[in-house]
Each structure stands twice: as C-alpha cells, then as structure tokens.
Amino acid sequence: MDERVRFVARLLDGEKMAPLCRAFGISRKTGYKIFSRYKEMGIEGLTDRSRRPYRHANQLPFQIETLIVSLKKEQPSWGAPKIREKLMRLYPDLHAPARFFSLPNQDGTIAPGQRADIVLLDDNPLESLATLRAPRAVVVGGTVLDRAELDRMTDELLAAAE
C-alpha cells in the first residue's frame, strides 16, 4: 500500500503518468487503475484487495447440496440419476446442473445435531426480491413446511398479534 500511496502522491504533484509508471515498474494500465481507485474511494482504494473469486461457477447452492446429501443418507442405494429425478419431481422449478451426477460421492454428511435449513422459491430472488415474500416451501431442522402450512402459520401469528 505504501508504494501505491507514494505513486498517487507523485501523480498529484504533477508528474506524468507514463514516466511515473516506468519509475515504479508498473504498466500504465495498472497506474491508471490505481489512480482511478484513489479517485473513487480515497486512501481506502489503495489497500490490498482479496484475490478470492466472488463466486464459484460450478458450485451448487448449499441448500441443493444439502438436499442431495440428505437423500443419499436416507436412501444409500440410490444413485445420482434417481436422486436427480426425485428432486425434479419434488421441485419442478429446480434447474439440474451436470454436477448433480457427481455430488453424492462428495464428502459431507448430515449427522444428529446438525441442521440444514432451506427456502425453496419459485423464481430467482436476484431478479426480484418479491419472490422472497412467497416461498414454495421451507425446510427447517429437517421438517418440510409447504406453502399451505406456511400460510396457516402466518395466519396464526397474525391472529395472535391482534
């Protein structure tokens, strides 16, 4: 970070970008990136950033992975195609990536005392947060609450609050 601060300070003192980048041993593209981060965020923009990826393209959502592992625990003789079919029948809106076929062999178990909660939605909540207002089902502590059960519970809570 100290190098970046010195770089920006010399740039603000009026030095030209190209010779300054040569002096620091960086490309002009990197020099402009450092300077634009400084202009956008101030001194905080010059701190080191994580190189960890924001997302993993082939990773299943935790909830789906948990469902698959729990089905495999309940039915150890079932293979990946049968588990996939069961999930597709239970949740028709669920998209089935190719990784379904290798997941049951991965490490990871649900043991007594562990919880795997999941909310099943009809649409992508990243496209519309309104989807979160009406989940298709909720799995809490191993108990599946379908839409009718959730509506009944909501009505009871509203009645108790009045």
Digit-coded pLDDT (tens) for 122-152: 888 778 778 878 888 888 767 788 888 888 8
User: Is 25 a domain residue?
Assistant: yes
State if pTM tops 0.85. no
Tell me which residue of 95, 141, 98 sits closest to 121, measured CA to CA.
95
Concatenating the DSSP letter of every residue in 57-87 gives TTPPPHHHHHHHHHHHHH-TT--HHHHHHHH
State whether 61 and 105 are in the same domain: yes
User: Is 52 a domain residue?
Assistant: no
Digit-coded pLDDT (tens) for 28-60: 999 999 999 999 988 888 888 887 777 666 666
The boundaries of the domain holding residue 128 are 117-162
User: Is 51 a domain residue?
Assistant: no
Digit-coded pLDDT (tens) for 82-97: 887 887 787 766 655 5
The total number of structural domains that make up the chain: 3
